[in-house]
A and B are shown apart, each in its own frame.
Chain A
Amino acid sequence: DAGVTQSPTHLIKTRGQQVTLRCSPKSGHDTVSWYQQALGQGPQFIFQYYEEEERQRGNFPDRFSGHQFPNYSSELNVNALLLGDSALYLCASSWGPGRANTGELFFGEGSRLTVL
């Protein structure tokens, strides 16, 4: 089991552009959460997807959107990029509320986005 995989690992964009980040959850997991981690900060919750729907959202603008596919993989889209969007974007998978939820998140290695 490769665990949670994310792509791309690094990318550079300019202000105003759009970006799509991808995540494949750990085998057997049906829930994907996205986090933004700015330099020197802890991960900050963006949103969570379960059963292909956004279940909960953190304090992020609508420029941040996502999607979950039937195979449980997920995408994070950010439109109209700002310099402040530069960060490490982490994907985490877990079991959804329909199963025994231990509360443990399994993280990917992240996608580092630089906005110039």
Chain B
Amino acid sequence: AQRVTQPEKLLSVFKGAPVELKCNYSYSGSPELFWYVQYSRQRLQLLLRHISRESIKGFTADLNKGETSFHLKKPFAQEEDSAMYYCALVDNYGQNFVFGPGTRLSVLP
């Protein structure tokens, strides 16, 4: 069964510190992996997708098929990064997104 786990419900770091939000998945095929973010009083929106191999707002994520992980990283956290982050995978047909439970990132001044 498809499943996404995010072990940390809450992650607090100080401004300027590195941050890593963990994501592990289980899927029998080759999924596409995404990170979605929800800032305070905003709707859920795409942050980045693994297929693009892009860096958005300083965040990167590497797909590790051996460890079935897709951790989100940023070398220097900013206060505006405080938000709820959801890791998600989609099946080959791009129709059924499976979301993890989310990690709330709090960047302290």
Contact = CB atoms under 8 A, between A and B. Distances in A.
A52 B1 CA distance: 28
Contacts, number: 58
Contacts of B101: 40-42
Contact of B43 (A41, A104, A108): A108
B90 A103 contact: yes
Contacts of A45: 96-98
Contacts of A56: 93, 95-96
Contact of B49 (A41, A42, A103, A107): A103
A71 B53 CA distance: 35
Interface string A65-102: 00000000000000000000000001010000100011
Interface residues of B, number: 24
Interface string B20-47: 0000000000001010100000011110
Contacts of A41: 101-102
B96 A42 contact: no
Contacts of A3: 43
Interface in A27-71: 33, 35, 40-45, 48, 55-56, 58
B70 interface: no
Most chain B CB neighbours (cut-off 10 Å) among A33, A44, A45, A55: A45
Interface string B49-89: 10100000000000000000000000000000000001010
B40 to A, nearest CB: 13
A11 interface: no
A103 B32 contact: yes
A92 B45 CA distance: 10
B95 A55 contact: yes
Interface of A: 3-4, 33, 35, 40-45, 48, 55-56, 58, 90, 92, 97, 101-110
9 contacts: A3-B43, A40-B9, A42-B101, A43-B44, A45-B97, A97-B93, A103-B90, A106-B45, A108-B43
Interface of B: 4, 9, 32, 34, 36, 43-46, 49, 51, 86, 88, 90, 93-102
